[in-house]
Every structure is written in C-alpha cells, then in structure tokens.
C-alpha cells in the first residue's frame, strides 16, 4: 500500500493491488471462488474467461490448488498477461472480441471437458474475495470517508458491501472509462443495458458491454454514484502514479486514481481511499501511454 495527498486537499490513500500476486486484485476473488467449490468438482479442473488479469489469477489458483486451469482470453490480450498465464501453467484458449461470445465458448468447453466455471465477476464468492481489499484498508484506516474503485468485475460490489456494512455512512464511488460506461448507463435506465459494441478504450480490463447480473444487483443498490474518465485522464493518472507513488498501473487499474486527480469523485470530508487495481501492462505500451501525458500540466499536490 502506498499513500499520498493530491490536489483536492484531502489525504488520499492508494491501495496498490498491482503489487498483489499475479499483479492485480483478481487473485483474491478467483482463489476464494475456486477454494469454495466441492473438492470433487474442483479436481476435474477450472475454466474461466477474462481480458487477462482474472486469467492469470485463475492460472495461479489452479497451481496452488493443484488442479488444471483453462483460461479463455481475447486474441488481442496484452502479451505480458498471456505469458504470465502460460508461465503459471494455465491452458490458453483465445477468442475474437468482435465476433465470438466468450461465455458461450467457456460453457461449451466446460461441458465437454467437465470443468468447473470460475466467473470473472458474476459470483458471490468472487465479490466477497475482492471485498477483502476494502476490509484490509478499512481495518487500517477506519476514518476513511470515501472509497473510489473501478467498476468492472466484483471489486466495486465487494467493496460497497463490506464498506456499507462496517460504516453505513461511507461513500463508495465507482469509476468506468467514458467509452465503456455500461454500469452508469444502466443506472440511468434503471435496469441492465447492453452497449451496442465492445468499447474502444485503453482500459481493456473494463471493456464490458453489460454489467453481470449479480454485480449489477449490488452496485445499483450500494454505489453512491458512478463517474467516467477519459483515456487522457487515465494516462495522466498512470504517469502520476509512476512519478510520485513509484507504482506501475495498467489503464484499467488507474481509473479510480484518474477520477480523483481529475476532480470527478464527489467528496466532502475525511480520507479518500483509492484502489489501483492492477499493473498488467507491457513496457512498450506503458512507455507510450505515460509519454502521452508528459506534456500535460501535473495535477497540483498539497
């Protein structure tokens, strides 16, 4: 965990889940879900779909539980994530985002090979596992008044559940990329909606077309608000994290910090807690993205 104070004038604590095993918070949920399965079901093997972080987490989970793990990932997933999956012993199956249904492919392989499906988000165990990050931080910093988290998998739902249980008055803010605001648009409509196409955003881990049913049921009830950030906001936050926190954040992982730096996260009093949810980005891409922010005015700190 690293901390700092940014231009809003309030202390901001950043929980660097990019330093978690496999480089993102996804390990928390994947391991919790898989370890909760009946032994006989788990022993046949695990399968799940992901843009990359959940896949690496599932591969490590399989290794630790000594069961085979198959991961279904986009054909254009970042190279470090693919290499990480294979290094951990995971079997990789790819699909095309624009023309194939990953969930249908997972269901087909699971039925054929008798594998247990580990969802990327639509699971109470996934949400509970992700929520342990909030439990740790609120245990260390009970004075936190606002939590800011990316909305994509089970993190926002798990965070909101534990935070509101411990402190009903706490504010929980979800953040999505502007081009992939499926949860925000669903909230405006009062029901789950589906975007017409896969979002085009550098935050590939948050490029969903629709909220999962279980996360939607929690987020629509417990999140105080959802805000969106641009790709420019995201690259600014990545550069800020690297320069001042000495943390490497991938685009999806930097979204919550981006909202705080851009002044988009409503806040009244108390400490702000931000989750930097992952650091799965290759060096050339990271250099290219933070270089785009080099000419911009640095967010003022106090």
Whole-angstrom distance, CA of residue 165 vs CA of residue 183 = 22
Please pick, among 50, 129, 182, 279, the residue that the annotation labels catalytic.
182
Q: Is 182 a catalytic residue?
A: yes
Please pick, among 204, 277, 279, 280, the residue that the annotation labels catalytic.
277
Q: Is 45 a catalytic residue?
A: no
Whole-angstrom distance, CA of residue 238 vs CA of residue 222 = 28
E-strand stretches of the chain:
2-5, 11-16, 46-49, 69-74, 91-95, 116-117, 144-150, 171-177, 225-229, 271-276
Q: Is 76 a catalytic residue?
A: no
Please pick, among 18, 24, 50, 51, the residue that the annotation labels catalytic.
51
First to last CA, the chain: 20
Answer for the pair 90, 55: CB distance below 8 angstroms, yes or no.
yes
Please pick, among 48, 154, 180, 205, the residue that the annotation labels catalytic.
180
Please pick, among 26, 81, 164, 171, the residue that the annotation labels catalytic.
26
Question: What DSSP string describes 93-131?
Answer: EEE-TTT--HHHHHHHHHHHHTPEE--SSS-HHHHHHHH
Answer for the pair 183, 216: CB distance below 8 angstroms, yes or no.
yes
Half-sphere exposure of 173 (CA within 13 A, CB side): 25
Q: Is 180 a catalytic residue?
A: yes
Whole-angstrom distance, CA of residue 139 vs CA of residue 134 = 8
Answer for the pair 218, 172: CB distance below 8 angstroms, yes or no.
no
Whole-angstrom distance, CA of residue 198 vs CA of residue 76 = 13
Whole-angstrom distance, CA of residue 186 vs CA of residue 181 = 8
* DSSP assigned state of 243: I
Please pick, among 17, 176, 231, 233, the residue that the annotation labels catalytic.
176
Catalytic residues: 26, 51, 176, 180, 182, 277
């Amino acid at each position: 965990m690293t901390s700092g104070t940014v231009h809003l004038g309030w202390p901001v604590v950043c929980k660097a889940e990019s330093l978690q095993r496999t480089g993102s918070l996804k390990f928390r949920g994947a391991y919790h879900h898989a370890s909760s399965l009946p032994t006989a079901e788990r022993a046949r093997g695990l399968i799940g779909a992901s843009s990359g972080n959940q896949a690496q987490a599932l591969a490590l989970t399989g290794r630790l539980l000594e069961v085979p793990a198959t991961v279904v990932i986009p054909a254009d997933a970042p190279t470090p994530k693919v290499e990480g999956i294979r290094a951990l012993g995971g079997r990789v199956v790819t699909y095309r985002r624009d023309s194939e249904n990953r969930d249908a492919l997972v269901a087909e392989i699971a039925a054929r090979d008798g594998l247990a499906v580990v969802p990327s988000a639509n699971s109470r165990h996934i949400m509970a596992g992700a929520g342990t990050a909030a439990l740790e931080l609120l245990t260390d910093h009970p004075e936190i008044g606002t939590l800011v988290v990316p909305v994509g998998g089970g993190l926002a739902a798990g965070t909101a559940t534990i935070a509101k249980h411990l402190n009903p008055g706490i504010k929980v803010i979800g953040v999505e990329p502007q081009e992939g605001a499926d949860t925000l648009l669903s909230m405006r409509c009062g029901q789950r909606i589906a975007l017409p196409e896969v979002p085009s955003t550098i935050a590939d881990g948050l490029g969903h077309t629709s909220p999962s049913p279980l996360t939607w049921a929690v987020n629509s009830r417990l999140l105080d608000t959802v805000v969106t950030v641009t790709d420019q906001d995201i690259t600014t936050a990545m550069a800020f994290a690297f320069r001042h926190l000495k943390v490497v954040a991938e685009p999806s992982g930097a979204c919550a910090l981006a909202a705080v730096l851009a002044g988009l996260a409503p806040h009244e009093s108390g400490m702000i807690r931000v989750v930097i949810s992952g650091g799965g980005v290759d060096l050339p891409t990271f250099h290219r993205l933070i270089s785009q922010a080099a000419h911009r005015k640095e967010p003022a700190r106090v």
